[in-house]
Chain A
Amino acid sequence: MNKNIKHLQKGHDVKKIEPRTYLWLLPAFALIFFFIILPSVETVFISLHKKQNTSVKSLKDAIIKAIERTGGVKPSGRSRLDKCGQYGPAIEEICSGLQLDPAAAGISGENTVQEAAEIIAAAAESGDGKKSAFAPVENYRETFSDPQTVVALKNNLLWIVLFTFATVAGGLVLAALFETVRWSAAARTLVFMPMALSFVAAGIIWAFIFDHNPAVGTVNALMKSAHAIIYGAGAAYEAKAFLADPQTVNYALIIAGIWMWTGFCVVIFTAALRAVPREIIEAAVIDGANPLQIFFHIKMPSIRPALMLVSTTMLINVLKIFDIVYSVTGGGPFGSSEVLATRMYRSAFIEGSYEQASAIAVVLLLATVPLAIINCRGGITAE
């Protein structure tokens, strides 16, 4: 017997595994490691550390405070250090906090407080000192006491509730409904089609539908006609700026999201409903069950795995929701449509605060952990 066969699956007892086998896995796992696993750990690390504030202004304030404490006089930025009594311990204290050598920094009594701050800042920038300190809660406290992040968190919750419920429930209802007509495949294709579009393109489509101008925006045009019917043709209609009004902007965006993702749910539910064994349904029909009873007592229990998969997929999607908010409103007006992912992007790449951005990213990651566990369980049972 050929020795190759020993390494095959299906019951052969394997004593020795060729290390070469792992080479097949290597490229994929190297990429995963350097692009997902290691960066995740780094982000958690960043979020738990506070960058030392080495701006000249904050250092100046710190020196003034320290001299006031050790020397008893409150200097101003222009006071010379040797006029401030015991300045030595104060400078040493600040330098040691940044792990800098005060002698190497070259500060003498002839410098003013302002100059001392500039020298220390330059020394800290040049890279010898310690750049950050362990501070497990500070970034999180700062981030989540920021009113904009709080708004983003609330909006994410709104997305989670409305988007998940609408796509899952709507997908199930549509899947069952479509099966009652002969042209179900065509109907499904139309509902599924938005899945092929980018969120950016979908965002443009919906921004057009929700346009402020009743001659352009379909929703405003419909509301204008309805208004004319109710109040008479002469009554003035006040157009609604759905995407520029903090009261409506989130709902408008969520509608666009639902439009995109319901098709995914419909497709999975259709496949699951079709996999329900025909004999069971026929038996129930013979026993006199009506269609609703069949749906709730026979079909629903047997599509439970699909229901779980669709729900977790939608939850994972909605937690990461970014593109549509970024491209349609950019989080506006006045940050009222911001979600955690857009807030994180803004913190990191516009405000330049990596610590706060990392804290938000870690919160997003933690929110997906239970979903990952559910997925893993599903993954095992599918084996």
Chain B
Amino acid sequence: MKIKSYFNFKNYKILFLNLTVAAIAILWFIPTLALLISSFRNQNEIYSSGWWNFLIDSRSFTFDNYKSVILHKGIGTAFVNSLIITGPAVLLTVLLSAMAAFPLAFLKINGSRIIILTIVALQAVPIQITLIPVLKMLNSLGLGGSFPAVWLAHTAYGIPFSVYLLRNFFISVPFSLIEAAMIDGANRAHIFFKIVLPLSLPAIASLAIFQFLWVWNDLLVALAYLGGSENVAPLTVKMASMKGSLESGWHIMAASAFISMVLPLAIFLFFQRYFISGITAGAVKQ
């Protein structure tokens, strides 16, 4: 009698749902897995047998692709460039956005409603509309093709979203704390650095992760404002040009792609909670 219950309708349904979800999850993971495996196979292997053969016979495992990509193909330089671009761009965005969100959340200022509306509207503006004039401006300032150009550009493009996100988090900071500090005679800089920022660390973390992923993964801004020069090209630009030139085999492209993915994937997996709280903040009223 007991066995029968395993085969009743409800269990079939649960089994079916589990299998469906598993199939979808595997389907989503296969493309990444395929390239990941290929990045550890040598060139001949990749071109003579499909990546799935590696699951059965993994004797051909090798780190050679990664070695040659880092040492000889300029991916090492590109990785460093990506770091140089991303670090200051993230710091600057977080600092300036937090400064702007502070009065919008706590201090009564004229036109705060209009400012917030502007910020929301600017989030939809395509970067393309700004490319040509900004490039001219950067060139006339002598910044064309330099890192500060992309730092400033990424910060400016990130600000509308960042200010909106931070302001929405800031208004949930208990107001009584700020009031108490004010009565004690604390000035605004004090309140900002000693109360608001420490209490909004989760929000700042989620913003920093967003901005990191956005800058690290960006192609258009780097392509337009840095030009094609190898010395300053970040990973995305470097990889796009390698892909376009068709000179590199899959063993090179696979290893390059994974080097570019290591950092964002690690950050994503470790800080997923902050990332998710960031994107759902505006969408769902908790």
Q: Does B216 contact A (CB under 8 A)?
A: yes
- Within 8 Å by CB of B182, from A4, A38, A214, lies A4
Q: Does A226 contact B (CB under 8 A)?
A: no
- Within 8 Å by CB of B239, from A22, A201, A211, lies A201
Q: Mark A313-346, 1 if CB is under 8 A from B, else 0.
A: 0001001101100111010000000000100110
Residues of A within 8 A of B117 (CB): 376, 379-380
Q: Which residue of A lies closest to B109 (CB)?
A: A21
Q: Does A229 contact B (CB under 8 A)?
A: no
Q: Which residue of B lies closest to A315 (CB)?
A: B124
A364 & B129 in contact (Cβ 8 Å cutoff): yes
B125 & A35 in contact (Cβ 8 Å cutoff): no
Among B108-160, those with CB < 8 Å from A are 108-110, 115-117, 120-134, 137, 152-153, 155-157, 159-160
Q: Does B198 contact A (CB under 8 A)?
A: no
Residues of A within 8 A of B55 (CB): none
Residues of A within 8 A of B50 (CB): 214-216, 218, 221
Residues of A within 8 A of B21 (CB): 177-178, 180-181, 183-184, 187
B253 & A39 in contact (Cβ 8 Å cutoff): no
Q: Does B243 contact A (CB under 8 A)?
A: yes
A31 to B175, CA, bound (A): 29
Residues of A within 8 A of B285 (CB): 275, 382
Interface segment among B2-10, B66-74, B200-208, B264-272: the answer is B264-272
A133 to B14, CA, bound (A): 70
Q: Which residue of B lies closest to A269 (CB)?
A: B283
B280 & A191 in contact (Cβ 8 Å cutoff): no
B129 & A31 in contact (Cβ 8 Å cutoff): no
A82 to B128, CA, bound (A): 51
- Within 8 Å by CB of B265, from A193, A211, A372, lies A193
Q: Does A257 contact B (CB under 8 A)?
A: no
Q: Does A17 contact B (CB under 8 A)?
A: yes
A372 to B164, CA, bound (A): 14
Q: Mark A31-62, 1 if CB is under 8 A from B, else 0.
A: 11011111110111010000000000000000
Residues of B within 8 A of A322 (CB): 128, 219-220
A43 & B129 in contact (Cβ 8 Å cutoff): yes
A36 & B130 in contact (Cβ 8 Å cutoff): yes
Q: Does B49 contact A (CB under 8 A)?
A: yes
Among B200-233, those with CB < 8 Å from A are 213, 216-220, 223-224
Q: Does A300 contact B (CB under 8 A)?
A: no
A5 to B236, CA, bound (A): 50
With A17-B109, A31-B156, A376-B120 in contact, is A361–B32 under 8 Å at CB? no
Q: Which residue of A lies closest to B138 (CB)?
A: A35
A19 to B235, CA, bound (A): 44
- Within 8 Å by CB of B130, from A40, A196, A306, A312, lies A40
Q: Does A189 contact B (CB under 8 A)?
A: yes
A365 & B28 in contact (Cβ 8 Å cutoff): no
Q: Is the interface of B mostly helix, strand, loop or mixed?
A: helix
Interface segment among A6-14, A90-98, A117-125, A142-150: the answer is A6-14
- Within 8 Å by CB of B236, from A190, A200, A216, lies A200
Q: Which residue of B lies closest to A344 (CB)?
A: B128
Residues of A within 8 A of B286 (CB): 275
- The contact size tier of chain B is 35 or more
B35 & A208 in contact (Cβ 8 Å cutoff): yes
B284 & A268 in contact (Cβ 8 Å cutoff): yes
**In the complex, how many angstroms separate the beta carbon of B235 from the nearest chain A beta carbon?**
8
Residues of A within 8 A of B219 (CB): 198-200, 322-323, 326-327
Q: Does A87 contact B (CB under 8 A)?
A: no
Residues of B within 8 A of A214 (CB): 50
- Within 8 Å by CB of A17, from B100, B108, B121, lies B108
A213 to B46, CA, bound (A): 11
Residues of B within 8 A of A259 (CB): 28, 31
A24 to B243, CA, bound (A): 44
**In the complex, how many angstroms separate the beta carbon of B116 from the nearest chain A beta carbon?**
7
B107 & A7 in contact (Cβ 8 Å cutoff): yes
With A196-B213, A322-B219 in contact, is A206–B31 under 8 Å at CB? yes
Residues of B within 8 A of A373 (CB): 121
Q: Does B195 contact A (CB under 8 A)?
A: no
A29 & B100 in contact (Cβ 8 Å cutoff): yes
Q: Does A105 contact B (CB under 8 A)?
A: no
Q: Does B1 contact A (CB under 8 A)?
A: no
A36 & B108 in contact (Cβ 8 Å cutoff): no
A365 & B108 in contact (Cβ 8 Å cutoff): no
A379 & B128 in contact (Cβ 8 Å cutoff): no
**In the complex, how many angstroms separate the beta carbon of A326 from the nearest chain B beta carbon?**
7
A305 to B281, CA, bound (A): 13
- Within 8 Å by CB of A38, from B17, B133, B265, lies B133
Q: Does B38 contact A (CB under 8 A)?
A: yes
**In the complex, how many angstroms separate the beta carbon of A15 from the nearest chain B beta carbon?**
11
B107 & A275 in contact (Cβ 8 Å cutoff): no
Q: Mark B96-110, 1 if CB is under 8 A from A, else 0.
A: 110110111011111
A232 to B137, CA, bound (A): 64
Residues of B within 8 A of A28 (CB): 96-97, 99-100, 159, 163
Taking Cβ atoms with an 8 Å cutoff, the residues of A that contact B are 2, 4-5, 7-10, 12, 14, 17, 21-22, 24-25, 27-29, 31-32, 34-40, 42-44, 46, 174, 177-178, 180-181, 183-184, 186-187, 189-201, 203-209, 211, 213-216, 218, 221, 259, 264, 267-268, 271-272, 275, 305-306, 309-310, 312, 316, 319-320, 322-323, 326-328, 330, 341, 344-345, 348-349, 354, 357-358, 360-362, 364-365, 368-369, 371-373, 375-376, 379-380, 382
What are 25 A-B residue pairs whose CB atoms fall within 8 Å in the complex? A2-B185, A21-B103, A31-B159, A35-B130, A35-B152, A36-B157, A38-B133, A39-B129, A40-B130, A181-B17, A187-B22, A191-B25, A193-B28, A195-B268, A198-B216, A200-B239, A204-B257, A208-B254, A213-B47, A221-B52, A309-B282, A364-B126, A368-B124, A372-B120, A380-B117
CB-based closest 9 A-B pairs: A35-B156, A198-B217, A196-B268, A39-B133, A28-B100, A39-B130, A372-B124, A42-B133, A379-B120
